[in-house]
Structure 1
Amino acid sequence: MTDYTDTARQILATNDRGGYTVPTDRLYPFQWNWDSAFVAMGFATYDVPRAYRELERLIEGQWADGMIPHIVFHTPSDTYFPGSSVWRTHHSIPTSGITQPPVFGLALKRVHDTAISQGLTDTRRRSRILYNAALRWHRWWYAARDPENTGLVALLHPWESGSDNSPAWDIALARVSTTTETTVARKDTGHVDAAMRPHDEDYRRFIHLVDTYAACEWHPERQWAAAPFKVAEIQTTAILLRSGEALLEFAREFGLDSDAQQLETFNARSRSALLAQWRPQLRRFVSRDLISGDDINAPTQACFCPLLALDLEQTMLEAATAEMNDWSDGLSVLFPSTQPTYSGFEARRYWRGPVWAVINWLLMDGLQRNGKDAMAEKLRRSTVLAIETKGFAEYFDPLTGEGCGGLGFSWTAAAYLWFLETVKTDITDPA
């Protein structure tokens, strides 16, 4: 009988590059921001000092203005495009010039709480250093990506969402030119079936944005003014708010009253803004295209991520979970990253339909927060079964259950370890 826990730990060990973890060999040979936050929580189930180290290695790439980039290029590799030379960021440690969803604060709180429960020494010192880095990043988000103080933070590149080629970006991204100064020399399709990856045209638009912001020398105000892609995004804002709640707990624990007041202001602003993005006729939340001013109505997993950070009133909660159940009907694995009946759904193409264990992790947290434990458990069991049946794949085809993308994937292994630690018992609420 296979010991899947042991397999998950072996994957993390295999992908360890000296205190940080690559998502998978060759396809993603560097340290990715939100991947490492999830991985740290996976490590926390059996090796808390290593969990701390994962986060500490990530903030080695933090910028002077507080941004934590989405990639830290600790060591060179020629198996990935775009590499550090394309980004032209000129930092002491090479990094990309954009960011990713701020799971960091949430991960830090869970690592810290586990360390406290185990009575580990040096916990408060390590947590305080990481808290300071996380708070600087949160301040950057609200200053650089919400300059008008709306409460919704904006993305200037689809990669910042983590959901690179999501149907949510189809309209906004179509306005971005396909011309590039940088030669587009993709490496990903040499490692993974092209049918599971974004299209070449998507990549040309992605790199056009990189060229645009490199020309701005990565200055936030200049990027904001030049951006041809600018989306006030609900998934990222929800993650920021949830991490902001975690940082507020730290601020109170450390007796940092001024920090606590600022975090309360940030959190209240984002909480109100997210609630305003609820669309009862759609039974979900929506992002907003800041260039056109239009709602983004494409039905993706992001539409339910606000549950992670909101305590919904009952009518709203029942509508949202009914919509989620409708999307799930008849699928082999839950939860799809795009509604299966939507015209833009593609079951095996990256973020246009596949199931992602870490998204289920966030959705489970949101469902549990809102008292939907049985529905969260349904997601947990579906994900665990997919992993045990098809392996630790990057993502899964919701129709067939097939494991897709990269294999031996770190955040899938981390999710599996966390899911085994968080089994719910005595569940009585209806799914």
Structure 2
Amino acid sequence: MTTLRMEEGAHAVLARNDRGGYTVPTDRLYPFQWNWDSAFVAMGFATFDVDRAYRELERLTEGQWDDGMIPHIVFHAPSDTYFPGPDVWGTRHRIPTSGITQPPVFGMALRHVHEAALASAITNAETRTKTLFQAALRSHRWWLEARDPDGLGLVSILHPWESGSDNSPAWDDALARVPTSTTTTIRRKDTGHVDASMRPRDEDYQRFIHLVDVYRDCDWNPKRQWAKAPFKVADVQMTAILARATADLMHLAETLGTEGDKAELAQMHTKLQDGLIRRWRPSLSRFLSLDLISGNDIETPTQAGFIPLVAVSLDDAQRGAVMAEIERWLDRMVVGVPSAPAFSHAFEPKRYWRGPVWAVINWLITDGLRLNGAEDLARRIEQTTVRAIENAGFCEYFDPTTGEGLGGDSFSWTAAAYLVLSGRNRLVEGR
């Protein structure tokens, strides 16, 4: 299929999943607005409809809490095809939301959309960006206050769902300490839409819902949650995305922010970069998250170890080491980068975050490689990602060993990733 036909297909996916200014990841399996999905989707929209890109972010901020947190799900309209719904979360926001958050790609998306608006000479770009900039700044403040109270320069997740990498092998040891007992009756809907072999196991869900029960009993108060959390991980993927988003807000603040905003963001950025740099492990050629309950490094290899590339500049030795490590992960893969490498005992090429390739993760990794001068490797990963989508369609994720499309289909962020990554390749190839 030609690139033009694929672009038309990507536009059609986004149109099909549009629910009136916000986009669901895919019909039925994920029938609401998801936080980091929508940020990637906004960047996809910005390639052809800047007004709609702004609207995606604006609808997401309708769910922002007064303390600044942007929840991981905003329940704009009811649906009975997803569990857990708003009744399980029991939050008391002005519109129903979940009680946890997700990776703060929002700030990255805002810069992307604003620059697309300037290039398109959109008349009200500055006004719309300024409003969203303040929402992003409130969110970043929340992250530092609520999720790094000890000032480590690393922000923590209190639930695996917050990481976006729900059942990642990185969480196995920490999650094993979480009881499987729940006060909420579990009524999984996901395995009615997608084969159970591609989804988290029932035991994972019991622990996931136990955590929801614990935090709901804390009345979603951040300090109480922090004190009670049986799962607490200083996550390098989350910290890196926050640091990169902070750098993007710093860029916007040069023309749209106050001197106070600039100083505050610069301080945040330095703190987060310093925290990340301390998590580099030369013996493993990647960055490691920290289990705050056990005090141990999380050495299990997952894609999270490469995401700090979007936020830090490596020295020559580090750059060479991380490039060699990524090449090891790509060895004998039809498409990479896998979310867990084939040499890991935890590798499952078809099960959600335990091996499959995700287009948006490759988007982040290639951004980080470019930031660190590894243009050729970045382009190669992008090209294999684009080919996988062209061969298998706009699937949720892909088997790295075969390129087979997995999970939900007609997936919004995969369509957005195709629009952005294929556009980059056309620029490089002069087409």
- TM-score range, shorter-chain basis? over 0.9
How many Å apart are 1:310 and its aligned residue?
0.7
Displacement of 1:273 in angstroms is 0.8
Q: Deviations over 1:329-375 (max 9, x none)?
A: 01011110001110011000000000000000000100111111111
Q: Which residue of 2 aligns with 1:19?
A: 21
Q: Give SS of 1:61's match.
A: coil
The equivalent of 2:119 in structure 1 is 117
Aligned AA for 1:132? Q
Amino acid at match of 2:206: R
Say whether 1:298 aligns with 2:300. yes
- The aligned residue for residue 151 of structure 1 is 153
CA distance in 1, matches of 2:289, 2:309: 14
What are the Cα deviations for residues 288-331 of structure 1, in whole angstroms up to 9, with x where unaligned?
00000000001000000000011111100110110000010010
Deviation at 1:81, TM superposition (A): 0.2
Q: Is the 8 A contact 2:383 2:425 kept in 1?
A: no
Determine the structure 2 residue equivalent to 1:418: 420
| 1:206-355 mapped onto 2 (5 Å cutoff) | 206-355=208-357
Residue 201 of structure 2 corresponds to residue 199 of structure 1: yes
Quick one: percent identity of the two aligned structures?
Answer: 61
Shift of 1:30: 0.1
1:78 maps to a residue whose letter is D
State the secondary structure of the residue aligned to 2:290: strand
Preserved CA contact (<8 Å) 2:70 2:101: yes
Take 1:307 and 1:74, find their aligned partners in 2: how far apart are those partners?
34
Maintained 8 Å contact 1:373/1:424: no
Which amino acid letter does the alignment assign opposite residue 81 of structure 2?
Answer: T
- 1:254 CA drift (Å): 1.9
SS of the residue 2:364 aligns to: helix
The structure-2 alpha-carbon separation of the partners of 1:192 and 1:257, relative to structure 1 and needing over 3 Å to count, comes to: same
User: How far is 1:420 from its partner?
Assistant: 2.0
Give the equivalent residue in structure 2 for 1:105: 107
2:44 and 2:427 map into 1 onto residues whose CA distance is 21
The residue that corresponds to 1:375 in the other structure is 377
What SS does the corresponding residue of 2:62 show, helix, strand or coil? helix
State which of 163, 170, 173 in structure 2 corresponds to 1:171. Answer: 173
Distance 1:129 1:84, change over 3 A: same
Q: Which amino acid aligns with 1:100?
A: Q
User: CA offsets per residue over residues 34-74 of structure 1, 9 Å max, x none?
Assistant: 00000000000000000000000000000000000000000
Q: SS in structure 1 opposite 2:181? A: coil
Structure 1: unaligned runs, 5 residues or longer: none
Q: Which residue of 1 aligns with 2:163?
A: 161
* C-alpha separation in 1, matches of 2:100 and 2:257: 32
What is the TM-score normalised by the length of structure 2?
A: 0.98
Q: CA deviation at 1:224?
A: 0.1
- How far residue 425 of structure 1 moved from its aligned partner, in angstroms, is 6.1
1:55-66 to 2 correspondences below 5 Å: 55-66=57-68
Residue 140 in 1 paired to residue 142 in 2? yes
The residue correspondences of 1:16-55 to structure 2 (distance < 5 A) are 16-55=18-57
Q: Deviations over 1:363-409 (max 9, x none)?
A: 01001111111111111110110001011100000011110000000
Q: Residue 97 of structure 2 corresponds to which residue in structure 1?
A: 95
The one-letter amino acid paired with 1:110 is H
Give yes or no for contact 2:356–2:398 (8 Å, CA) kept in 1.
Answer: yes
Distance in 2 (alpha carbons) for counterparts of 1:424 and 1:292: 47
CA contact under 8 A between 2:153 and 2:271: conserved in structure 1?
Answer: yes
Deviation at residue 424 of structure 1 after TM alignment: 6.9
| Cα separation, 1, equivalents of 2:376 and 2:209 | 43
SS at match of 1:399: coil
1:188 aligns with 2:179: no
Q: Partner amino acid for 1:159?
A: W
Secondary structure in structure 1 of the residue aligned to 2:425: coil
Gaps of 5+ in 2: none
How far 1:426 sits from its partner (Å)? 6.5
Partner SS state of residue 288, structure 1: strand
Q: Quick check: 1:108–1:130 contact (8 Å CA) kept in 2?
A: yes
TM-score normalised according to structure 1 size: 0.98
